[in-house]
Amino acid sequence: MIPCRSTRCDLRGVDSVRHRRRFQTGLWLALAVSALASRVTADEPLTFAPTLSLRTPEAVDQDDACVWVHPEQPEKSLIIGSDKAAGRVFVYDLNGSVLQTLQISKPGNIDCRQGVVLNGNKTDLVVVNQRVNPTQLVVLRVDPASLQLQRVDDNCLTGPNYGGCLYHSRTSGQCYFFCTSEQGTVAQYELTGDSRGHVKTRPVRELRTGKCEGAVADDRHQVVYVADEATGVWRFSAEPDAPTEGQLIIRVGEHGLQGDVEGLAIVPGPENGQLLLVSDQGRSRFRAYRLNESPTFVGEFAVAGARNTDGIDVVAQPVGPKFPRGLFICHTDQTPRALLVVSWETIARDLWK
């Protein structure tokens, strides 16, 4: 599939710590990219076994997920899954236990941003688009002490929405959600807080692609990537006052990309080292592109049991002893439709061989 996410953002506090971690892992990521390019072929992708399979009896089809990283105790981080068929959002710990279940009408894509300042208060947000009854954004606040999510949105209505992602501007400090749609309209909404701690939204601009669901924002470089299911991946400036013209940077039909194009995620790294991961649902594979002015196809891999994948997310930083270099999450359409979690260290280590 953001995170998606999938980049994490805080303008001053949490962000500075995470930037140090990103630079520390820059060489490691560069080596993994090189190894992936040398080992992966279109016919025989590397296939990784899940470390965790996340499912609860209430789940039906968890087709997107994001990760909240505990700022002080990474082993207490959360994986938050969105299940539109069940009408629920599930909160898991890193052992696979369900900590919380929230009822939401047909939730779509889910994303997280940490250290967002709203009305002078810093908070960690999880946002999911609700597709029906009514179409709106559901905004949740994460409590680091209780590890519980609390709903804080206040009438955040939208037009037609299908998926989307969060973006946190390094220029203004404002937080936004990009709502994708089956009609090809991508609406950007600004999130603002009030004195009661509630969150409101207002539309600021519209972008155009084809039918799209998955998206991911790169806060560091102020761009958003949108998965046009039939055509490929579009890149737009994420700032609300920027031009609305986009660039089709990855095309269906090139380098074996079959489509439909679904989840997107970004692996942070140094300049010319970041990766964009793309879920190629038509081939049940995950494709990696080095992000630069003209993204370079690196290779592809698969996850055992992952079929017709929608949402994905990746975290490339330590999140406890089970995931010392992060984790990769993907949806699967194969019964029982669990969220499959793979150690990112395992993927990187095997790519080096």
pLDDT of 8 above 90:
no
Contact between 171 and 222 (Cβ < 8 Å): yes
Whole-number average pLDDT of the chain:
89
Q: What is the pLDDT of residue 293?
A: 82
Residue for token digits 């079959």?
Answer: 258
Element (H, E) at 28: helix 26-39
DSSP result, 87-117: TEEEEE-TTS-EEEEEE-SSEEEEEEEEEEE
Instruction: Tell me what percent of the residues of the chain surpass a pLDDT of 90.
Output: 79
pLDDT in tens, 102-128: 999 999 999 999 999 999 999 999 999
At 300-313, the pLDDT tens digits run: 899 999 999 999 99
Q: What domains lie within the chain, and their CATH numbers? A: 13-352 (2.120.10.30)
**What's the pLDDT score for residue 29?**
54
pLDDT of 7: 40
pLDDT reading at 2 higher than 70: no
Q: Are 161 and 129 in contact (CB under 8 A)?
A: yes
